[in-house]
Amino acid sequence: MTAYLLRRGGQTLLTLLVMSILVFVGVYLVGNPVDVMISATATPQERAELIVRMGLDQPVWVQYWHFLKGALSGDLGNSFLYNRPALGLIFERMPATLELAFSALFLGLVFGIPLGVIAGLRPSKPESRGIMAFSILGFSLPTFWVGLMMILLFAVKLDILPASGRGETVNVLGVPLSIFTTDGLSHIFLPALNLALFKISLVIRLTRAGVSEALQSEYVRFARAKGVSEWRIVFLHVLKNTLIPLITVVGLELGALIAFAVVTETIFSWPGMGKLIIDAITTLDRPVILAYLMITVLMFTVINLIVDLTYTLVDPRVKIDGGSE
Amino acid sequence: MTTNMTSRSDYALELRGLETVFDGDKGAVAAVRNVNLAIKPGEIVGLVGESGSGKSVTGLSIMGLIDRPGRVSKGEILLNGEDLRKVSAKRLRSLRGDRMAMIFQDPMMTLNPVLRIDTQMIEAITAHDPRIDKTVARNRCRDALGMVGIPDPEERLYAYPHQFSGGMRQRVAIAIAMLNNPDLIIADEPTTALDVTIQAQIIAEMQKLCKERGTALIWITHDLTVVAELTQRVYVMYAGSVVEEGPLDDVLDNPLHPYTQGLIRSIPADNDPGSRLFQIPGMTPPIDRMPKGCRFHPRCPYVQLDCLNDIELTQTSAARSVRCAHPINQGEQVS
Amino acid sequence: MTDMTSNMNASGSSEDLAAQIAAANSFPPEPPARPIRSAIKRVLTDPLGLVGTVIVVVMLLAALFAHWIAPQNPYDLAVLDILDNRLPPGSESFSGMTYWLGTDDQGRDLYSAILYGLRTSIFVGIASAGIALVIGSVMGLISAYFGGRTDTLVMRLVDIQLSFPPILVALILLAILGQGVDKIIVALVVTQWAYYARTVRGAALVERGRTYVDAARCLALPSRMVTMNHILPNCLPPLIVVATMRVAYAVSLEATLSFLGIGLPVTEPSLGLLISNGNKYMLSGDWWISVFPGVALLLLIVGINLVGDRLRDVLNPKFKD
């Protein structure tokens, strides 16, 4: 177990290192952030001073070395744009993004699993065809487009839900959250649904595939031969076999949700990390780009680890060393 | 456990003109056609044939476990005299696992991989007796495991299927089938996936248990040697129909149908090692491309022109029937 | 059916009898297996498949002949009249031309802009999916053919790649590479090659296990020939399905990135950028600037997906995506 965790930790560090080098050098090559930061009327002298102050006159590997030293002590540098610690900016925005991602995940499961079970149990019924048609749409429609249409419909035409912002928040353990106030809920509903749409489709498909596979399995046939009720077959035999593999996907999809929140946050002006990274990319705010990527990758790795550990708990066949008996 | 139906029949199970079809693009095709079969309490009969002969479909039809697009389209399935085609779905479910049970071919697939053995055993009891005391049910499961030769049954109840070997899993499946002391067990090639030594053990145990309890047993197999060890009577199926039936010894010593003869001749003989093994030429036709008349005629060494006419199963003696226009030892023979 | 002649000879019957029996047993021959041709046929006979195909073909033609069909060249600033800006659909310009889909904030005919935007979107989608297909297939074949360490290495790479959401990978790459059609194609290729590699490897492993490849090996054909001539054609059905779906995904991802302002530059507006341009006028009620390019994008993506979904059903490759 310890060896396993150590190995996973080592892999994560390696990934972070490689990625930081790539991004650091890459962004270095693209352009000079000074042009973005300084006003057009600045004298060449002011410009040169700024470059020295930011350390941009040094060779790239020296800059990277400084960055790495800082990173090890938890300092990923100051944002060029805000002149504040990049990590601080990220952490400030993180609760909003996580709240959005988890709400979307929740919606994905709450809608996706029952619909998938229905579609899997009676694949030829009209309601199942309807569900599958919906899931094709959910897969096909670009998130940003659906978000825009939601705003057009619910905020502009019907005027029943707000189109932007987090609304009223409540501090829970020092973290501001929207989901505990009615105003906050009305604000998070559209963005969460928007972000969830793709996941709902995905969960529908996976659940349906799992259910129909389990229904054709020998163990379901054997359970029927035992005289076990259809209700118990579906909710115990079939569902347990379907939901276990779903855990992996759902875990990995949480990462994707955090990444795709970029789009939803932009559309709904949700003040999360996504908005920050888009601004950082367009202004070449290297410290923020790096900090965002490092944090995201770190979150991914932690999520993956939690998923793997959960899997060993719920699937009797899987042991932590990866082999089964 | 007692039979909850007063027996209206001498037979534990009787099939009369069973037909099972599969609906496809080009209409329904019959996988099983006009099968008649009768088995007395405590009797063991073999249902023999190659894959595709309809023997498994027959077993599943009896249990009411044919999935769409298949369906039982004709005939009667009489379990203790009660026609299973006429009973409600609820009644059928209450009979399954209680009065009739089935064991499947691949023990690796029949147990649910994510549920503990005790869960999967106890549900077979509670499905038919929801108010039973949990401890009583558990004890019955433990005893059943012990009965089929699983060591430490108390402890093994807490195990998952993957912690058992294939042979042990099949024993668990047998224990589950026997839990409610059914009147009929259908065993669909239960030993095919197992080692020969384990196969022999399981066959011996099944034989003993059925004899002790008066359970009727239908053993479905493609392997005549298994039948020879186990059964009293045998039905030979080919391309969806029974082509020959009779007492085991008679059929083995004196097959009437060329197909049966072919099956017997393809058993490796102990006393003649190194000799070339006989094979029936060709293979079972797919169900949607059945030949006319006798369905075996394209593979039959004794084929005649009148084999193109349809032929019914005909009784040749008190205990024997054959579906052949030119049965061996009865008409002119060419071999 | 069975070859009966040998049996007949064994039984010593006349050839006449054999012929009669053979005649009675004759079935119409099975149609030759042509998976891809019959798949296309089955897609076209399915209503949804037909709708999808029609949409895709119309869109492709519209994009291909955009410069002939479009009433104006939306990027020739000389023909634009700023006085015509943000006209609702059906309005007429001063010069008498009808803007059937309205105009954008620069007085550009939206219908023309959509046709040109469609061209950019489809080009980016097909080019990126095509390059990713070639790279991915080669990697997949290498992986399947050599096995062992090569296989482990390639598949590890695929796993790592797939464990990151495509949009994140694209964000990183665009942050590094900057904007431009070539840049976004590179980013899309990087996010997609792994899907093809995995598909081809899976299909190739199945095919490699089949005996005819062994047979070809026994004939001492050079290994490259064995791979190409025997394995690749059999990987085609799953590959076609994956490629169709991936083109749709590439179009969608490109539109998303352009919408976010980090994809294509303003000089080469794709549908995503048109939508983004209209976004700021949405709340003030000028809905058409965003909605019409959006509908075009939607039709394109849904059309491709309908075709892909049907193809998957009829070709039925057992793959996970």
Quote the pLDDT of residue C8.
41
Most confident of B85-89, B201-205, C8-12, C156-160: B85-89
Please write down the long-range contacts of A308-311, taking CB distance under 8 Å and 24 or more positions apart.
A310/A247, A310/A251, A311/A244, A311/A247, A311/A248
**Is B286's Cβ below 8 Å from some Cβ in C?**
no
Structure tokens at B333: 């023979």
Which residues in chain B are closer than 8 Å to C10, comparing Cβ atoms? Answer: 301
pLDDT at position B29 over 50? yes
Q: Are B225 and B270 in contact (CB under 8 A)?
A: no
**Is C186's Cβ below 8 Å from some Cβ in A?**
no
Closest approach of C165 to chain A, Cα-based (Å) = 5
Q: Which chain A residue's Cα is nearest to C161?
A: A15
Overall number of domains in chain A: 2
pLDDT at position C103 over 80? no
Q: Are C21 and C12 in contact (CB under 8 A)?
A: no
Question: What is the DSSP code (8-state) at residue A74?
Answer: T
Closest approach of C8 to chain B, Cα-based (Å) = 7
| Residue of A226, A237, A244 to mutate for B, most B C-beta atoms under 10 A | A226
Q: Are residues A135 and A42 in the same domain?
A: no
Q: Which chain A residue's Cα is nearest to B180?
A: A226
Characterize the bridge pairing of strands B233-238 and B44-48.
parallel
Q: Are B311 and B323 in contact (CB under 8 A)?
A: yes
A78 in any annotated domain: no
Nearest beta carbon to residue A263 from set C260, C285, C306: C260
Cross-strand partners of C65? none
**Is C274's Cβ below 8 Å from some Cβ in A?**
no
Which residues in chain B are closer than 8 Å to A241, comparing Cβ atoms? Answer: 112-114
pLDDT at position C205 over 80? no
The answer to whether the Cβ–Cβ distance between B301 and C7 falls below 8 Å is yes
The arithmetic mean of pLDDT across residues B152-181, rounded, is 90
Structure tokens at A111: 């809608």
Residue B49: which residues within 8 A CB-CB, separation 6 or more?
Answer: B55, B222, B236, B237, B238
Q: Are residues A129 and A253 in the same domain?
A: yes
The answer to whether the Cβ–Cβ distance between B96 and A216 falls below 8 Å is no
A320 in any annotated domain: no
**Is C297's Cβ below 8 Å from some Cβ in A?**
yes
A54: closest CA among A292, A295, A285?
A285
Neighbours of chain C (3+ CB pairs under 8 A): A, B
| Burial letters C147-164, b for 16+ CB under 10 A, else e | eeeebeebbeebeebbbb
Q: Which chain A residue's Cα is nearest to C179?
A: A282
Name the band, by pLDDT with cuts 50, 70 and 90, for residue A322: very low
**Is B63's Cβ below 8 Å from some Cβ in A?**
yes
Which residues in chain B are closer than 8 Å to A217, comparing Cβ atoms? Answer: 109
Q: Are residues A47 and A150 in the same domain?
A: no
Quote the pLDDT of residue B1.
43
Cross-strand partners of B46? B219, B234
In whole angstroms, give the CA distance from residue B94 to residue B87.
11
Nearest beta carbon to residue A296 from set C168, C291, C309: C168
Q: Walk me through the domains of chain B, giving residue ranges and CATH numbers.
A: 2-99+180-270+277-322 (3.40.50.300), 107-179 (no CATH)
Quote the pLDDT of residue C30.
55
Q: Are residues A298 and A223 in the same domain?
A: yes
Q: Are residues A141 and A289 in the same domain?
A: yes
Whole-number average pLDDT of chain A: 82
**Is B76's Cβ below 8 Å from some Cβ in A?**
no
Q: Which chain A residue's Cα is nearest to C320?
A: A206
Q: Are B328 and B256 in contact (CB under 8 A)?
A: yes
Name the band, by pLDDT with cuts 50, 70 and 90, for residue B95: very high
Name the band, by pLDDT with cuts 50, 70 and 90, for residue B332: very low
Coil, helix or strand for C103? Answer: strand
Closest approach of C280 to chain A, Cα-based (Å) = 10
pLDDT at position A111 over 90? yes
The answer to whether the Cβ–Cβ distance between C256 and A155 falls below 8 Å is no
Hey, what's the torsion of the CAs at B102, B103, B108, B114, to 10 degrees? 40
Question: Where is pLDDT greater, at A232 or A25?
Answer: A232
Closest approach of B101 to chain A, Cα-based (Å) = 6
**Is C156's Cβ below 8 Å from some Cβ in A?**
no
In chain A, which among 211-240 make CB contacts under 8 A with chain B? 216-219, 221-230, 232, 236-237, 240
Nearest beta carbon to residue C2 from set B299, B307, B335: B299
Which residues in chain A are closer than 8 Å to B96, comparing Cβ atoms? Answer: 224-227
The arithmetic mean of pLDDT across residues B20-26, rounded, is 86
The answer to whether the Cβ–Cβ distance between B110 and A218 falls below 8 Å is yes
Q: Are residues A182 and A218 in the same domain?
A: yes
Q: CA angle at residue B248 from B245 to B251, to 5 degrees?
A: 60
The answer to whether the Cβ–Cβ distance between B65 and A219 falls below 8 Å is no
pLDDT at position C316 over 80? no
What range does the domain containing A14 cover?
2-72
Q: Which chain B residue's Cα is nearest to C20?
A: B305
Quote the pLDDT of residue B105.
86
In chain C, which among 21-80 make CB contacts under 8 A with chain B? 21, 24-25, 27
A224 in any annotated domain: yes
The answer to whether the Cβ–Cβ distance between B98 and A227 falls below 8 Å is yes
CATH code for the domain in which residue A123 is found: 1.10.3720.10
| A43-47, B63-67, B208-212, C273-277: range with lowest mean pLDDT | A43-47
Q: Are residues A51 and A100 in the same domain?
A: no
| A122-136, C89-103, C236-250, C286-300: range with lowest mean pLDDT | C89-103
A85 in any annotated domain: no
pLDDT-above-70 percentage for chain A: 93
A117 in any annotated domain: yes
In whole angstroms, give the CA distance from residue A269 to residue A277.
13
Nearest beta carbon to residue A317 from set B101, B113, B128: B113
Nearest beta carbon to residue B162 from set A240, A241, A325: A325
| A125-129, A261-265, C98-102: range with lowest mean pLDDT | C98-102
B311: closest CA among B319, B266, B303, B62?
B303
Q: Are A220 and A238 in contact (CB under 8 A)?
A: yes
Nearest beta carbon to residue A259 from set C168, C177, C290: C168
Where a domain ends, among A42, A72, A102?
A72
Name the band, by pLDDT with cuts 50, 70 and 90, for residue A101: very high
Distances, alpha carbon A294 to alpha carbons A87, B18, B228, in Å: 10, 68, 70
Burial status of residue C83 (CB atoms within 10 A of its CB: 0-12, 13-18, 19 or more): exposed
A55 in any annotated domain: yes
Q: Are residues A146 and A291 in the same domain?
A: yes
Q: What is the ipTM metric for this complex?
A: 0.87
The arithmetic mean of pLDDT across residues B184-193, rounded, is 88
Most confident of B6-10, B136-140, C51-55, C62-66: B136-140
Q: Are residues A155 and A13 in the same domain?
A: no
Quote the pLDDT of residue C319.
39
Question: Where is pLDDT greater, at C106 or B165?
Answer: B165
Whole-number average pLDDT of chain C: 77
The answer to whether the Cβ–Cβ distance between C172 and A136 falls below 8 Å is no
Question: Where is pLDDT greater, at B133 or A44?
Answer: B133
The arithmetic mean of pLDDT across residues B300-313, rounded, is 83
Closest approach of A318 to chain B, Cα-based (Å) = 10
Quote the pLDDT of residue B13.
92
A265 in any annotated domain: yes
Quote the pLDDT of residue B138.
94
| Residue of C8, C11, C16, C38 to mutate for B, most B C-beta atoms under 10 A | C11
User: Does the domain at residues C34-319 carry the CATH identifier 1.10.3720.10?
Assistant: yes
The arithmetic mean of pLDDT across residues A7-23, rounded, is 79
Quote the pLDDT of residue A287.
82
Nearest beta carbon to residue A227 from set B93, B114, B173: B93
Closest approach of A259 to chain C, Cα-based (Å) = 6
The arithmetic mean of pLDDT across residues B130-144, rounded, is 92
Name the band, by pLDDT with cuts 50, 70 and 90, for residue A181: confident
Q: Are residues A204 and A286 in the same domain?
A: yes
pLDDT (tens digit, 9 = 90+) per residue, C15-33?
A: 667 677 666 666 555 555 6
Q: Are residues A43 and A149 in the same domain?
A: no
